[in-house]
Structure 1
Amino acid sequence: MYVYLLTNPAHTVLYTGVTNDLQRRLYEHGQNLGTAGNFTGRYQCNLLVYFEVCADAVQAIGREKEIKGWSRAKKEALITTTNPEWKVIDLQTWSG
């Protein structure tokens, strides 16, 4: 299970999500760009800047809820711990 944070090209929006298949979920977010009915589509938010692996769904959902409750500044600090330049993470090449 994964907890992940996405942003938009201007880094003005952050989205926190949870999934059991990060590659598939990123693809789905990318397909919904511009879809007014969902958050990531409306705000063009599909750039992966942070993720962490969790042992199971219970842990992942708990962590997602925890992060969603944080301030923007605290989320930015979390991203910066592993991705200080906020580069888009390519799962094929990421070593972070």
Structure 2
Amino acid sequence: MPYVYILSNPRRTTLYINFTQDIDTCLAAHRAGTESPFTKKYILVHLIYFEPFEKIETAQARARQLKNWHRAWKWNLIMAANPKLRALSTTDAEPSSASQPYTL
């Protein structure tokens, strides 16, 4: 299942947005430091937000959209779904109803 996800560092000062077809494998690669030099450098290993999608193309479009948002808008989206900014796992319940499904 395709996902858009947002990672952050332990102090929650930096965000990384991307999409993937296999979120578990992707998160493992980020945690191992093999997915992206940026996430390795800034220790972006905490999943703080994600959205599931039916099609990878839709997830890619949503990731592109979120990357163009102002920082405050990104934080508002994250805080609506995860107010305590806790690190999530993909086994967590459905993402918050505050996150609206994205459609093209």
TM above 0.5? yes
Report the counterpart of residue 87 of structure 1 in structure 2: 86
Runs of 4+ aligned residues of structure 1 deviating over 2 Å after TM superposition are none
Q: Distance in 1 between matches of 2:44 and 2:6?
A: 10
Q: How many residues align?
A: 93
Report the counterpart of residue 75 of structure 1 in structure 2: 74
Q: Distance in 2 between matches of 1:41 and 1:23?
A: 17
Q: Distance in 2 between matches of 1:38 and 1:62?
A: 23
Q: Does 1:52 align with 2:51?
A: yes
Q: Distance in 2 between matches of 1:47 and 1:22?
A: 13
Report the counterpart of residue 61 of structure 2 in structure 1: 62
Give the drift of 1:54: 1.2
**TM-score when scaled to structure 1?**
0.90
- The answer for unaligned runs of 5 or more in structure 2 is 96-104
- Matched residues, percent identical? 33
Report the counterpart of residue 14 of structure 2 in structure 1: 13
Amino acid at match of 1:17: N
Q: Distance in 1 between matches of 2:90 and 2:20?
A: 14
- The answer for unaligned runs of 5 or more in structure 1 is none
Give the drift of 1:91: 2.1
SS at match of 2:90: coil
**TM-score when scaled to structure 2?**
0.84
